[in-house]
Chain A
Amino acid sequence: MREWILDLHIHTILSPCGGDDMVPPLVLARAKELGIEVIAVTDHNSAENVQAFMIKGREMGVVVLPGMEVQTKEDVHMVCLFDTLEQVFAWQEIVYQHLPDLKNKKGSFGEQWVVNCEGNKVTEVERLLLMGADLSIDEVVKGVQDLGGLCIAAHIDRKVFSLLGNLGFIPVDLPIDGVELTPHLPRSQAQLNQLRERGIHHLVSSDAHWLDSIYPPQCFAFIEECTIKELKTALLKKDGRYIRTIR
């Protein structure tokens, strides 16, 4: 076992708010340059760029976990991570079924590009991705975990689109696997105490939408290999596994 350097929340050019530079060769080169060994590709309500990143990641020696940042009915953002493409596409199918069928207005929201592993634009996703799916937070956590995935409450230290901002506190019986804190925000002792009391561990991920917002290493997992099972164990701080963050 050893410490792996992770950034488990990165957007691509598919997210309407994602930069044009968020394509496989550039993102992976940036991660490598910073010494990040594992990234998760987590676009809003979609996983259509995951495969391109996984293929390029294998070539460039960066582990890419398939994922998605889903927006629940309560407008809470949840990072969903999986081991395989099949799992993330099965999850995408469910999310698409529950996403209101609205066309993207590029001028207001931004473009939603699917790219190939070299970063060339292939197609544009026409439906608007940046909105809440008609799935409650409980349904999202259960759905992801039933498929064998990991469900993390995204940026809980932000006022909006977050579990604490939108729902006030962590619901007592919500079996989330962990929470994510933002690299640049001040840590709230009250929030950290709340997490400790509940036995919930945190990750720090960049939630990068542009190349230069991918942070230098913030988060480390002491695990055997980078799988959902190992990460789950590390988030439970069991069997010698753990997650360590810079702060």
Chain B
Amino acid sequence: MSLTRPGLWAAALLLALSLGTLAAVAWRAEWAGGLGAADWAAIRFTLTQALVSAALSVGLAVPVARALARRAFPGRAVLVTLLGAPFILPVVVAVMGLLAVFGRRGLVSDALATFGLPPIDIYGFEGVVLAHVFFNLPLATRMLLQGWLAIPSERFRLAESLGAPVGRLLEWPMVRATAPGAFLVIFLICLSSFAVALILGGGPRATTVELAIYQAVRFDFDLGRAALLALVQFGLCALVAAVAFRVALPDGLGGGLDRVVRRRDGVPLLDAAWIGAAALFLLVPLGAVVLAGVAGLVDLPGSIWAASLRSLGVALVATALAMTLALVLALRPGAGVSLAGVLPLAASPLVVGTGLFVLLYPFVSPGRVALAVTALVNAMMAVPFAVRILAPAVAQAEATYGRLADGLGLAGWQRLRLLLLPRLRRPLGFAAGLAAALSMGDLGVITLFAGSDKATLPLEMYRLMGSYRSDAAAGAGLLLFGLSLGLFWLFDRGGRIGADT
């Protein structure tokens, strides 16, 4: 297929951005020594919390996604959109929302107090895992839900009329194919977690590798140690990626007509309980974010609007770039491409940013390219999600219609336009929504490059927080939440429109 070459280019670009920037940092470093005992403690903690967080997120997502896949109810579409919300919230905003529910003065503690019980204390390992599940359960649910929706409805009807076990024949193979990928992605997100672990971790026991990198770059200016730690992070990523790819089995179900599944199996009450519990867990903290932010909206400074426009621009550019890269990668499956689609997640944003700084500084003033670099790095960080969402859909379309298309001599651009893109609408919309929202909410590398007057909305929010203006910061958080969710909804819906007919 003539789309091979762009796929290679995209893979090369992602490799350069993740490993190349690491090399640039290492090249600029003065080597002082290896890793100390504290670094190893950080590696252990990072690994443990990431494994537990990812296992819980994916494990809980299976029944939730299954329930969502087979039940139709009013508000389902809104709920599915809102599922994307925690994941795209800026970390600090989401943590404040979580604390409004699970904190010492949160709803749960208040409820306990009415029974004369002491408040719950989530600071520590539990808090870190709780927050990571809050962020990633929705993502896992959406990824698995895509898998469920990709099972042709004809199969369910056939299985039903034959009285065959739907779970074993149809659903388990799909979970086998989808869950390891979801687990890997979430593991990697938790691996490079920094602020969550630090805010909810309760103390230096909860030091992650990313914090150690942050300290090395920003406080000690020990670039050698930063590069070494970033390498460790890549090593952990490679290890878990190898396991995940081995466990994942290719899905060989064949195709059908894209109809919404109408099913009668399962216990409705149990499904309702899963959906209700997940919705409560996710939506109550979001409600707290909205409540806290509404009062602050009137305090927003004028500069917030220019910052919002800048962030929207960055998000749209990053989305276009991420979708292009992800699509060409998804069209050319293979080990190298899979790796390029995962590596960016294991990259430390700080090391990537510092590496780019080192590489670009000789040629251009950092402030001038701040927004361009932010868009580029945001796109890079979104590619793994997009590839994970697109690749199975591409594979399925190829498996179903590939031979027909070959017979018709459909190749290259024609094949993409006539065969693949129409089949990919739903995953493309979801992936683009995710990329846009992620880019919108990410503080990213703008802090490394920021010149004069180039603040993005997340940066502006942090600045408000950093100067006592917590009400206005909460307002900015709500604005950011609204814009991110709006972008997500637009793209995601764009992909879903007409999917029912």
Q: Real complex partners, A and B?
A: no
